[in-house]
Amino acid sequence: MGNSTFRFLLLALLALPVLQASAPASSRAFVAENIAPPVALHVSQELQGLDAELERLKHEDLQELLDFVAGNTLFTLYHEAGHMLISELELPVLGQEEDAVDNLATVTMLGADTEDMDLLLSHAMIGWFLIASENYEDLVFYSEHDLDQQRGYQMLCLMVGADEAAFADLARDLELPEERLETCGFDYEQSADSWEIVTAPYLREDGERGNRIRVRHGPPGPGQASMALFLKESELMEIVAEELDDLYKLPEQVTFKAEVCGEENAFWDPSQREMTLCYELMTGFADIYLDLLTLRN
């Protein structure tokens, strides 16, 4: 791991407890008690892999890990939902589609305008810096995605643009330059307005339900039972599906599903009209935070 990469990892480690401490007790417990009710991890007689590691965690460490997994999973769901909207509504995209749906996910989570969602989004943003530290030796400059650190900084800039008072200190801790901070308000307004304009013709009337999105939870693989149970109990997929169903007039039935994929991934398949969240991706998020706990403790 290079020195600059370790430095980003250390900054993220320092930021996590600050975010947790800045939120009131009710906010810090939000995911475990509201979005995600307490999950009993005694999912089988013989726990394997991640399931066994989570069983051994202290309660407060487990809650922090679940907050981190929830934030990154929710961002992923909104990101893939952006691909779905572009495909199903035939929305125009100027620039890279991946950048556009990253912005949608960030703007949507910021739109909740609650300390709870801000905390989850902060976890997702920090997640990109941590993923970047793991992928430092495997940078791909021709990918359809920006580099993970770039994605993290773009998210952070939109967060500052939406609420400077809430996120400016975190941005400075992560060394977002002051000259960049000054442009973040424009970036946020441009992203929010762009999505609002292109989706306006497809908005539903208040109170109208389309029932176009169905949700399906597949069986988990070995060591994935805790994450599968967490996803089902938290209803993260259902939250995103219901929000989109209430908001947009989708032309056809689509499916959001979670299943074993054999890789850490999430993707929208336009030919099948299915968005897939892989359990491996959720376990990957959990593994990242377990590494943090090892370093922090």
Per-residue pLDDT for 26 more than 60? no
- Per the CB < 8 A criterion, the answer to whether 36 and 127 are in contact is no
Q: Which residue has the higher pLDDT, 73 or 124?
A: 73
pLDDT tens digits, 167-190: 988 888 888 888 888 999 999 999
Torsion of CA 244, 250, 252, 257, to 10 degrees: -20
pLDDT tens digits, 256-289: 999 999 999 999 999 999 999 999 999 999 998 9
Helix (H, G, I), strand (E, B) or coil at 206: coil
Per-residue pLDDT for 33 more than 60? no
Distance from C-alpha of 239 to C-alpha of 234, rounded to nearest angstrom: 9
Per-residue pLDDT band for 132 (boundaries 50, 70, 90) equals low
Which uninterrupted H or E stretch holds 255?
strand 254-259
Domain ranges of the chain: 3-37+58-296
Please tell me the predicted confidence (pLDDT) of residue 265.
Answer: 93
Please tell me the predicted confidence (pLDDT) of residue 279.
Answer: 97
Please tell me the predicted confidence (pLDDT) of residue 46.
Answer: 62
Please give the structure tokens belonging to residue 216: 């399906």
Distance from C-alpha of 167 to C-alpha of 106, rounded to nearest angstrom: 13
Arithmetic mean of pLDDT, 83-87: 96
Per-residue pLDDT band for 125 (boundaries 50, 70, 90) equals confident
Q: Which residue has the higher pLDDT, 25 or 122?
A: 122
Please tell me the predicted confidence (pLDDT) of residue 295.
Answer: 77
Please tell me the predicted confidence (pLDDT) of residue 148.
Answer: 59
pLDDT tens digits, 200-239: 999 998 777 778 999 999 999 999 999 999 999 999 999 9
Distance from C-alpha of 274 to C-alpha of 213, rounded to nearest angstrom: 10
Please tell me the predicted confidence (pLDDT) of residue 297.
Answer: 66
Average model confidence (pLDDT) for the chain?
81
Distance from C-alpha of 161 to C-alpha of 111, rounded to nearest angstrom: 12
Number of H helices, E strands in the chain: 14, 4
Per-residue pLDDT for 143 more than 60? no
- Nearest Cα neighbor of 2 from 121, 118, 135 is 135
- In degrees, rounded to 5, the angle at the alpha carbon of residue 285 between the alpha carbons of residues 72 and 227 is 95
Per-residue pLDDT band for 5 (boundaries 50, 70, 90) equals very low
Arithmetic mean of pLDDT, 147-151: 69
Indicate the range of 3-7, 64-68, 75-79, 115-119 predicted with least confidence.
3-7
Per-residue pLDDT for 45 more than 70? no
The answer to pTM > 0.95 is no
* Percent residues over pLDDT 70 in the chain: 78
**Max CA distance (Å), the chain:** 56
* Percent residues over pLDDT 90 in the chain: 49
